[in-house]
Amino acid sequence: MAEPLIKHEVRDHYLLIELPKDMDKECATNLNIEIKNWLLQPAQLFVLDFREVSELNQLCYHPLLVLSQNIKMADKKLVSFNFKPSLLNQLKNDGMSSALNCIHDIREYFKQEKSAQTKPQKQIDVSMVNPFLAATKKTLELQANVQCEPLKPQFTYVDNKVYEQPIAIVGVISISTEKFKGSVTLAFPEKIFLKIYESMFGEKHEHINHEIEDAAGEILNIIYGSAKTVLNQEFGYQLKPELPTILSGERINIRQKTNEKVIILPFNTQHGQFQVEISFENEQAA
């Protein structure tokens, strides 16, 4: 049997693919060949190990996207891990991190997967999604004259979230009612927030400062108030007015206090992407 062009190994329920040090033009060609063989494997999970990778040529993006798309079409899963910081930044900046499902800790991923399989499955209440989608779109278009396109909602664990761009400012509202315990988070990269602020108030700033960061809370307040009305009237949530907490920083790390899944509602605008996140505490994720 011929030696594989790219080292891979079937382990239990997954296929481990160890990518080479130099992912160059030759590697892109090899990927196109090997992908056909990998997709024939019975594995339900494909794991890309970037431990040895020091160079990743953009020519390799296309075959990696083909692999990702085919895995999704087969209703299987793909995760990638073991990134050098510079490589992870490259993938984020080039918009590849979501397609490759980049994670920080493969052992924690397996732990969460095992836990999800062995305990009764809790269903996230998707009635929360549409009111927040509509409220966010309406608020940004009316208040800031920013056209918003809702993208496909994502369901993930908090620890596995990876952002395409560093998040510079967030507004967080914590909620506790009989039907919902958790939080709603509005998260902006710096460039996007500054453009939205400029559209709202006619003031241009180079960086976020304490004088303008309250605008994130104002936007979230309007979104929450609009969604709250629908959720209370149509779904009986009994949500009450809440005050947002504003967090800012160069590379803020958003971590809700839950190990359950989080609904991520991404939006695309003429300035770039931002997102709303709805997290659920354990006992209220049903």
Q: List the CATH number of the domain containing 13.
A: 3.30.750.24
Which tokens sit at 77? 């899963």
Question: Is 170 part of a structural domain of the chain?
Answer: yes
Question: Is 89 within the bounds of a domain?
Answer: yes
Same-domain pairing of 140 and 252: yes
Which of 118, 134, 169 is the last residue in one of the domains? 118
Residue 235 sits in the same domain as residue 131: yes
- Does the residue 200 lie in any domain? yes
Kindly state whether residues 17 and 139 are assigned to the same domain: no
Residue 1 lies in a domain: no
Same domain, 70 and 147: no
In a domain, 3, yes or no: no
What is the number of structural domains in the chain?
A: 2
Residues 12 and 96 in one domain: yes
Q: Do 28 and 134 share a structural domain?
A: no
* Same domain for 268 and 191: yes
Given 89, 118, 147, the domain boundary residue is 118
Q: What is the pLDDT of residue 13?
A: 82
**pLDDT at res. 8:** 92
Answer yes or no: is pLDDT of 103 > 70.
yes
Q: How far is CA 252 from CA 28, 105, 187, 215, 262, in A?
A: 34, 19, 10, 17, 18
- The tens digit of pLDDT for each residue in 30-71 reads 999 999 889 888 888 999 999 999 999 999 999 999 999 889
- pLDDT band of 284, cuts 50, 70, 90: very low
Last residue of a domain, one of 100, 118, 136: 118
Res 286: pLDDT: 43
Reported pTM: 0.58
CB 22 within 8 A of CB 6: no
Phi, psi (deg, nearest 5) at residue 183 = -155, 160
Tokens of 122: 């809790």
The residue among 282, 278, 285 whose CA lies nearest residue 185 is 278
CATH code of the domain covering residue 167: 3.40.1550.10
143 and 250 share one domain: yes
263 shares a domain with 186:
yes
Owning domain of residue 96? 8-118
The pLDDT value given to residue 160: 55
* 277 inside domain: yes
Q: What is the pLDDT of residue 47?
A: 96
| Residues contacting residue 190 through CB under 8 Å, at least 6 positions apart | 166, 168, 169, 207, 208
How far is 285 from 201, CA to CA, in rounded Å? 38
Q: How confident is the model over 159-195, as pLDDT tens digits?
A: 555 566 788 999 999 888 887 788 899 999 999 999 9
Q: Is 107 part of a structural domain of the chain?
A: yes
Give the per-residue pLDDT at 34.
92
Same domain as 216, residue 96? no
Q: Same structural domain for residues 135 and 215?
A: yes
CA-to-CA distance for 64 and 225, rounded, in angstroms? 42
pLDDT at 95 over 90: no
Give the confidence band of 110 by pLDDT, cuts at 50, 70, 90.
confident
Distance of CA 237 to the CA centre of its chain: 26
Is 87 in the same domain as 156?
no
